Amino acid sequence: MKYSEYIQTTIWRRKSKKWIDETEECEKCGKPNKNTITGHFTCHHKSYENIGNETREDITVLCWWCHQCIHKKWVGLHPRHNRNRAAWMAKQEKASEIVKKDIRWLEISKTLGFNNGM
């Protein structure tokens, strides 16, 4: 049986629900498992060797974001890793502007003949 077919079976759904219910938090980021729509958790196969006969050791329970990060490589987009992306981006932009000003000051200092522009 193909993996895509297996994960639709009642057997898999019962196993995965049991493991999710027994898990208190995402095994990657530590987000609490509240079993709500916004806190959706899922089972991720560490290996596909034991499909149909997997044990808990073959599985890691992850929040939706971490599972997406693993499969789609959405590195840096996880809200637990970067709670306020807009603030982070603003800080990066400000830091970039400061560096540009420092570089410009060095150029002016060298043009004017100063040995130590900073």
Q: Where are the domains of the chain?
A: 3-82, 84-118
Query: 20 vs 35, 40, 77, 105, CA distance in Å?
Result: 8, 10, 23, 57
pLDDT at position 118 = 43
pLDDT by residue (tens digit) across 90-110?
665 666 666 666 666 767 767
For 117, counting Cβ atoms within 10 Å of its Cβ (0-12 exposed, 13-18 middle, 19+ buried), the class is middle
Sequence-distant (6+) residues with CB within 8 A of 26 are: 33, 41, 61, 62, 63, 66
pLDDT band at 10 (very low <50, low <70, confident <90, very high): very high
For residues 30-48, average pLDDT: 77
Counting residues of the chain whose pLDDT is more than 90, the rounded percentage is: 24
What pTM, to 2 d.p., does this model score?
0.57
User: Residue 97 in contact with residue 63, Cβ under 8 Å?
Assistant: no
Q: Which DSSP symbol is given to 36?
A: S
Per-residue pLDDT for 57 more than 80? yes
Instruction: Give first-to-last CA distance, the chain, whole Å.
Output: 68
